[in-house]
Amino acid sequence: MIAANTLAGATTREQILQVARELIQTRSYLGFSFQDVADQVGIRKASLYHHFPTKEALGVEVLRTATQAFKDWTAAKPRTPQAALEAYFRMYRNGLRAGESVCPAGALAPGWDCIDEELRGAVRDLRGTQILWLSGVLGALSPGGRAAASAAYVFAVCQGALLSARMTGRVDDFDEAIEQLRVSLLAA
């Protein structure tokens, strides 16, 4: 549950998005309802429809917001390619709270056949944005290599490491997987 001070000062729409993202990351997309969001925001369920006509529309906006936040994060300050990759690992570990939650895009994968195409597209956009950025970083680290394939590999390992750490509740499981990823990238 999101702390009340995190929601303080945010508009109702922003509060809805924050709560929905938290629920997606900790319960999965299929594990929460509009009523759960309304209860945590402190509004009536019917009021949610003023902001989002469907749960799918809410999910799409959560993912679009996450995609934009990632773009903003990548543009925030210039980094060397090595520092950028390490910052990416820290963002996954700390920003996505390894051991406590999962990536909002990754949280939709288990119910893939139950979500609509627009929501699937938003998941693909978040993944694609990260793969594109990682391709640039990895290409700068190892010119002439297979940056796109390596980027997909890094993304997949980070997603899997988050899932594993969530299953055990141990951030160390994330750290150990990422250390093995570092080793494999250096060997390539």
| Domain-embedded: residue 156 | yes
The model carries a pTM of 0.91
In this structure, what are the phi and psi dihedrals at residue 24, rounded to the nearest 5 degrees?
-60, -45
Structure-token pair, residue 131:
């793969």
In a domain, 35, yes or no: no
Range of 149's domain? Answer: 57-187
Query: Cα(97)–Cα(122) distance, rounded to whole angstroms?
Result: 21
Domain CATH for 89: 1.10.357.10
Q: Can you give the pLDDT of all 188 residues of the chain as single tens digits?
A: 555 556 778 999 999 999 999 999 999 999 999 999 999 999 999 999 999 999 999 999 999 999 999 999 999 888 999 999 999 999 999 999 999 999 999 999 999 999 999 999 999 999 999 999 999 999 999 887 799 999 999 999 999 999 999 999 999 999 999 999 999 988 87
Q: For residue 155, tell me if it sits in a domain.
A: yes
